[in-house]
């Protein structure tokens, strides 16, 4: 117990002994964690979108809210008459919302945002006899977009493909950037601790000569590295909290998937993950630094 | 037998042969002067005892422990048995007298109460209680020396090594230090004192170990500085 008190006090003093360096490495860690959080959140969001779209429907025709029922019926009959079409189903706004809620219930990482005004359109879901015909049928229908009845057309296989590509590119690019940031953060922490060790070299020499154990000498520096990590995580989490709202809504808008966002469960996991990751990076960097600079 | 060296030689990496074929036995409670001209190997011998350096050959046994073969993790516990007063004091300039002394207890993981009590005891022993809140730069040479002695003694080591403890001191202060060391010895501590001060050695007539070019050339029970 007294040892923990001593170690934390010494680490705290060490952190503020060279505040410029400590704050710089804290910010570096924070930036790395922000990137990390950004990639995790985007990845989760895209995966959720893919999951939602991966229902069996192959072609969705979104209808104008003010389309005349007779026009809709006429459109539906025309689609049904196409030999490539197997079935057509009319999905009302309300049914669409109900379905979305059902999906959200089954996926705990998703939470529905406020849905007092239903932003979903009425739609026709078209199931095709053969997937090869998708392009022709969607091409035919696309010509009618904006002419009063059809407001938009989504052909699912293409969208899913696109999303998967984006996810893949993001995770590869993200991993590369994250790897570089991790390297930079480790480098900065190792140097911060090296400088801290250097600043206390006389003290360390005496500690060893009067019989302090290696670990007694090392722990304050390792904890100082962890402090850098935790402070970095706090800065990153504060930044996330500040921008989460606007970013989430623009992300939702960008993905065109209505009121789905990442649930509180996920946010808690993310916060715990960031702090854990930061402790690990700070502790590992400091341990490496202490092991190389305190040898002998 | 508290200290036993057998056939010890020390060659530094640059080739300097600092000690040659040293055989030495020191019993608990002895008062030993180590004399010899500059470069004779006195400090090197001290460094071997606290395992700051390892011998090139031979064995060093302290209090039954083989210092050469002991695990690295055991070295701190060897050092807690040996207090060292360094020629350059090695006091921390940003700590007060009391903090410098307490430091040796804190970093060897003593409880707060023991740190307080033992620090006070050591300060009283070297007669520095009045100076406890002063910083090293505010002290005279003799006071700094006594602070270093207090720190070396504060965790009650079995052995006290003092390397040139009267180096730059005037005769009066030198005698103060020597009287202090005699008192420490009376408390049961084994003393190894390296010195160039002939007057002290000749006055006290204790065991004298004379090193010359790394070899023991004289070992007398009640010796003098020069043969
Ligand atoms: N770290 C070192 N590396 C190489 N040679 C060393 C080292 N330390 C001491 N020596 C050499 O070993 C020899 C013995 O040195 P040592 O310091 O033990 O002498 P000393 O008897 O303590 O001298 P002094 O009375 O001047 O303190 C000297 O020749 C010295 O140059
Ligand atoms: Mg010397």
Question: With contact defined as beta carbons under 8 Å apart, do B27 and B43 qualify?
Answer: no
pLDDT in tens, A219-265: 999 999 999 999 999 999 999 888 876 766 665 555 554 444 556 67
Report the distance separating Cα A56 and Cα A53, nearest Å.
Answer: 8
Q: Which two tokens stand for residue A204?
A: 């360390």
For residues A193 and A283, membership in a common domain is answered with yes
- Distance (Å) from CA B42 to ligand 1 centroid: 8
Domain boundary among B109, B140, B156: B156
Q: Residue written as tokens 């590992």?
A: A284
Q: What ipTM, to 2 d.p.?
A: 0.90
Q: Which two tokens stand for residue B99?
A: 């903090």
Segment holding A85, helix H or strand E:
strand A85-91
| Residues B108, A202: C-beta atoms closer than 8 Å | no
For residues A168 and A147, membership in a common domain is answered with no
For residues A45 and A188, membership in a common domain is answered with yes
Question: Which whole-number Å values give the CA distances from A20 to A14, A15, A141, in the listed order?
Answer: 12, 10, 63
Domain boundary among A110, A139, A155: A155
The answer to whether residue B113 neighbours chain A at the CB level (below 8 Å) is no
| Neighboring chain B residues of A211 at a CB cutoff of 8 Å | 76-80, 104, 107-108, 155
Which is nearest to B210 in space by CA: B197, B199, B226?
A: B226
Using most ligand atoms within 8 A of CB, pick from B9, B10, B17, B18 the residue to mutate for ligand 1. B18
User: The domain containing residue B30 runs over which residues?
Assistant: 1-81+158-227
User: The domain containing residue A85 runs over which residues?
Assistant: 58-155
| Residues B80, A211: C-beta atoms closer than 8 Å | yes
For residues A165 and A43, membership in a common domain is answered with yes
Domain boundary among B156, B177, B206: B156
Tally the domains of chain A.
2
For residues A110 and A180, membership in a common domain is answered with no
Which is nearest to B144 in space by CA: B104, B116, B177, B121?
A: B177
Report the distance separating Cα A164 and Cα B208, nearest Å.
Answer: 86
For residues B49 and B152, membership in a common domain is answered with no
For residues A171 and A44, membership in a common domain is answered with yes
For residues A38 and A66, membership in a common domain is answered with no
| Residues B107, A214: C-beta atoms closer than 8 Å | no
For residues A44 and A70, membership in a common domain is answered with no
Residue B214 within any structural domain of the chain: yes
Q: Is the CB of B43 under 6 A from ligand 1?
A: yes
For residues A279 and A136, membership in a common domain is answered with no
The answer to whether residue B158 neighbours chain A at the CB level (below 8 Å) is no
Residue B110 within any structural domain of the chain: yes
| Residues A213, B112: C-beta atoms closer than 8 Å | no
Q: Which ligand is nearest to the CA of B14?
A: 1
Tally the domains of chain B.
2
pLDDT in tens, chain B (227 residues): 899 999 999 999 999 999 999 999 999 999 999 999 999 999 999 999 999 999 999 999 999 999 999 999 999 999 999 999 998 899 999 999 999 999 999 999 899 999 999 999 999 999 999 999 999 999 998 899 999 999 999 999 999 999 988 877 888 888 888 998 999 999 899 999 999 999 999 999 999 999 999 999 999 999 898 87
Report the distance separating Cα B159 and Cα B190, nearest Å.
Answer: 5
Question: With contact defined as beta carbons under 8 Å apart, do B18 and B68 qualify?
Answer: no
Would you say the C-alpha torsion A102, A107, A110, A111 has a positive or negative sign? positive
Question: Which whole-number Å values give the CA distances from B126 to A289, B89, B143, B158, in the listed order?
Answer: 40, 15, 9, 17
Q: Is the CB of B42 under 6 A from ligand 1?
A: yes
């Amino acid at each position: 117990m007294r040892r923990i008190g001593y170690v934390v006090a010494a680490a705290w003093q060490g952190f503020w002994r060279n505040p410029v360096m400590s704050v710089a490495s804290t910010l570096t860690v924070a930036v790395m964690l922000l990137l990390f959080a950004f990639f995790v959140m985007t990845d989760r969001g895209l995966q959720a979108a893919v999951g939602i779209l991966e229902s069996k429907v192959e072609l969705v025709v979104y209808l104008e809210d003010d389309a005349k029922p007779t026009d809709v019926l006429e459109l539906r009959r025309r689609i049904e008459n196409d030999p490539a079409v197997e079935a057509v189903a009319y999905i009302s706004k309300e049914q669409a919302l109900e379905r979305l809620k059902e999906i959200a219930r089954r996926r705990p990482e998703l939470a529905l945002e406020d849905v007092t005004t239903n932003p979903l359109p009425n739609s026709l879901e078209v199931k095709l006899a053969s997937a090869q015909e998708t392009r022709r049928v969607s091409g035919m229908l696309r010509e009618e977009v904006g002419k009063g009845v059809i407001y938009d057309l989504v052909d699912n296989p293409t969208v899913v493909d696109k999303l998967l590509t984006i996810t893949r590119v993001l995770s590869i690019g993200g991993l590369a950037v994250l790897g570089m940031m991790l390297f930079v953060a480790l480098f900065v922490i190792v140097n911060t601790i090296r400088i801290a060790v250097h600043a206390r070299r006389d003290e360390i020499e005496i500690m060893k000569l009067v019989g302090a154990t290696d670990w007694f000498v090392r722990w304050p520096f390792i904890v100082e590295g962890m402090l850098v990590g935790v402070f970095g995580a706090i800065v990153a989490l504060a930044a996330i909290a500040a921008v989460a709202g606007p970013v989430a809504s623009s992300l939702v808008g960008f993905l065109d998937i209505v009121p789905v966002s990442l649930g509180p469960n996920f946010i808690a996991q993310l916060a715990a993950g960031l702090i854990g990751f930061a402790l690990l990076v700070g502790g590992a960097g400091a341990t490496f630094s202490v092991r190389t600079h305190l040898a002998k | 037998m508290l200290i036993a060296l057998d056939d010890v030689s020390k060659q530094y990496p640059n080739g300097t042969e600092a000690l040659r074929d040293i055989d030495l036995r020191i019993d608990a409670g002895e008062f030993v002067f180590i004399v010899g001209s500059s470069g004779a190997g006195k400090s090197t011998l001290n460094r071997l005892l606290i395992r700051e350096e390892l011998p090139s050959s031979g064995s060093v046994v302290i209090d039954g422990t083989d210092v050469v073969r002991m695990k690295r993790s055991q070295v701190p516990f060897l050092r807690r048995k040996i207090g060292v007063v360094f020629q350059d004091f090695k006091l921390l300039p940003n700590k007060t007298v009391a903090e410098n002394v307490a430091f040796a207890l804190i970093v060897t993981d003593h409880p707060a109460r023991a740190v307080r009590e033992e620090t006070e005891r050591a300060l009283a022993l070297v007669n520095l209680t009045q100076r406890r809140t002063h910083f090293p730069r505010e002290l005279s040479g003799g006071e700094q020396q006594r602070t270093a002695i207090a720190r070396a003694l504060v965790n009650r080591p079995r052995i006290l090594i003092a390397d040139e403890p009267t180096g730059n001191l005037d005769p009066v202060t030198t005698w103060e230090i020597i009287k202090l060391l005699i008192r420490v010895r009376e408390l049961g501590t084994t003393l190894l004192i390296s010195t160039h001060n002939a007057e002290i050695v000749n006055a006290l007539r204790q065991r004298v170990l004379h090193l010359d070019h790394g070899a023991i050339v004289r070992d007398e029970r009640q010796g003098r500085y020069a043969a």
